[in-house]
Amino acid sequence: MKLYNTLSGKKEEFAPHGDEVKIYVCGVTPYDDAHIGHAMSYVIFDVIRRYLKFRDFKVKYVQNVTDIDDKIIDRANQRDIPPAELAKKYTDSYFEDMDALNIEPADVYPRATGEIPKIIEVIQGLIDKGFAYPAGGSVYFRVRKDPDYGKLSHRSLDDMMSAEGAMGSEEKEDPMDFALWKASKPGEPFWESPWGEGRPGWHIECSAMSLKYLGEQIDIHGGGQDLIFPHHENEIAQSESFTGKKPFAKYWLHNGLLQFGEDKMSKSLGNLVTIKQALAKYSPDAIRLFILNSHYRSPLKYSEEGFEAAEKAVERFTQAISRQDPTGGKGKALDAQPYHQRFIDSMDDDFNTAQALATMFDLASAINQAGDAGISFVEAQNVLISLAREVLGLKLPKEIYVEASVGISIRVTAESEVEVDINTPIEISVEEAKSWQLDAKAVTIGELIELRQQFRKDKKWQLADEIRLFFDKKGLILEDTPKGTVCKRKR
- Per-position x/- string for 8-27, each x denoting binding to Zn ion as judged by CB under 5 A, each - no binding: ------------------x-
Quick one: CA dihedral 254, 222, 288, 260, positive or negative?
A: negative
DSSP 8-class letter at 481 = E
Q: Tell me the closest approach of the beta carbon of residue 235 to Zn ion, in angstroms.
A: 6
Q: Using CA atoms, how far apart are residues 31 and 76, in angstroms rounded to an integer?
A: 8
The nearest distance, CB 222 to Zn ion, in angstroms, is 10
**Which amino acid does the sequence have at 9?**
G
Nearest distance from C-beta of residue 296 to Zn ion, angstroms: 18
Return the number of the residue (48 or 206) whose C-beta is nearest Zn ion. 206
Selection from 441, 420, 421 nearest residue 429 by Cα: 441
> 173 to each of 43, 142, 167, 176, how far by Cα in Å?
41, 8, 12, 9
98 binds Zn ion (CB under 5 A): no
Is 126 or 206 the residue whose CB approaches Zn ion more closely?
206
Exposed e or buried b for every residue in 156-188, given b needs 16+ CB within 10 A?
Answer: eeeebeeeeebeeeeebeeebbbbbbbbbeeeb
Which of 206, 445 has the CB closer to Zn ion?
Answer: 206
Q: How many CB atoms lie within 10 A of CB 436?
A: 19
By CB under 5 A, tell whether 364 contacts Zn ion. Answer: no
Which is closer to Zn ion, CB of 204 or CB of 356? 204
Contact window for Zn ion (CB under 5 A) among 166-174, 198-206, 242-250, 328-336 = 198-206
Nearest distance in Å: CB 230, Zn ion: 11
Span interacting with Zn ion, options 39-47, 203-211, 400-408, 481-489, rule CB under 5 A: 203-211
Looking at 127-135, 163-171, 204-212, 369-377, which segment touches Zn ion (CB under 5 A)? 204-212
Nearer to Zn ion, 248 or 339 (CB): 248
* Spatial contact of 49 and 104, defined as CB atoms under 8 Å apart: yes
DSSP 180-243: EEEEPPTTS--B--TT-SEEE-HHHHHHHHHHHHH-S-EEEEEEEGGGIIIIIHHHHHHHHHHH
Site string for Zn ion, 422-461 (x = CB under 5 A): ----------------------------------------
Contact status: 73 vs Zn ion (CB under 5 A): no
**Side chain identity at 411, as an amino acid letter?**
R
| CB closer to Zn ion out of 26 and 211 | 26
DSSP class of residue 387? I
Least gap, CB of 207 to Zn ion (angstroms): 8
Q: How far is the CB of 58 from Zn ion (least distance, A)?
A: 23
Q: From CA 384, how far away is CA 373, in angstroms rounded?
A: 19
Check: CB of residue 237 under 8 Å from CB of residue 266: no
Q: Which is nearer to Zn ion, 103 or 467 (CB)?
A: 103
Q: Which residue, among 271, 331, 280, has the nearest Cα to 302 in the 3D structure?
A: 271
Nearer to Zn ion, 24 or 307 (CB): 24
**Minimum CB distance to Zn ion smaller for 41 or for 359:** 41
- Minimum CB separation from Zn ion for residue 227, in Å? 7
27 C-beta neighbours (distance < 10 Å), count = 26
Interface pick for Zn ion out of 23, 106, 206, 378 (rule CB under 5 A): 206
Q: Is 112 in the site for Zn ion (CB under 5 A)?
A: no
Among 201-209, 245-253, 313-321, 398-406, which window interacts with Zn ion (CB under 5 A)? Answer: 201-209
Task: Compute how many other C-beta atoms are within 10 angstroms of the C-beta atom of residue 491.
Answer: 7
- Span from 95-103, 118-126, 205-213, 294-302 in contact with Zn ion (CB under 5 A): 205-213
Q: How far apart are CA 232 and CA 249, in angstroms?
A: 10
The least CB distance from residue 155 to Zn ion, in Å, is 19
Q: Report in angstroms how near the CB of residue 271 gets to Zn ion at its nearest.
A: 25
- Nearest approach, Cβ of 26 to Zn ion (angstroms)? 3
Residues β-bridged to residue 139:
134, 181
Size of the site for Zn ion (CB under 5 A): 2
Nearer to Zn ion, 26 or 43 (CB): 26
DSSP class of residue 455 equals H
By CB under 5 A, residue 120 contacts Zn ion: no
The residue (of 25 and 408) whose beta carbon lies closer to Zn ion is: 25
Task: Give 404-454 as a DSSP string.
Answer: -TTS-EEEEESSS--B--TT-EE---HHHHHHTT--SS-EEHHHHHHHHHH
Which residues would be at the binding site for Zn ion (CB under 5 A)? 26, 206
